[in-house]
């Protein structure tokens, strides 16, 4: 759901976009921290916010960290 948002921010497309790990944080909605494999040995960490159901439950890319490796810990950011 957020691949297009990341591609727009990065100004490039990703042929590979596979979530390999995630964590959640409950706030006034839910923050998802997702480690995504984007090809070769490259990973990105995404922070995706999902609003509450009564607010349409939309997903939005809040922030991201690029140039990550498979072994990098997925943590709050």
Element (H, E) at 63: strand 59-68
Kindly report, residue by residue over 21-60, the tens digit of the pLDDT. Answer: 999 999 989 999 999 999 999 999 999 999 988 888 789 9
pLDDT for residue 75 is more than 80: yes
Domains of the chain from N-terminus onward: 1-69 (3.10.450.10)
Q: In 10 A of CB 45, how many CB atoms? A: 20
């Amino acid at each position: 759901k957020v691949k297009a948002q990341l591609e727009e921010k990065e100004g490039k497309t990703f042929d590979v976009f596979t979530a390999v790990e995630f964590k959640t944080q409950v706030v006034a909605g839910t923050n998802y921290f997702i480690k995504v494999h984007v090809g070769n040995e490259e990973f990105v960490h995404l922070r995706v916010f999902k609003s509450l159901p009564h607010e349409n439950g939309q997903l939005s890319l809040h922030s991201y960290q690029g140039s990550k490796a498979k072994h990098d810990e997925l943590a709050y950011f």
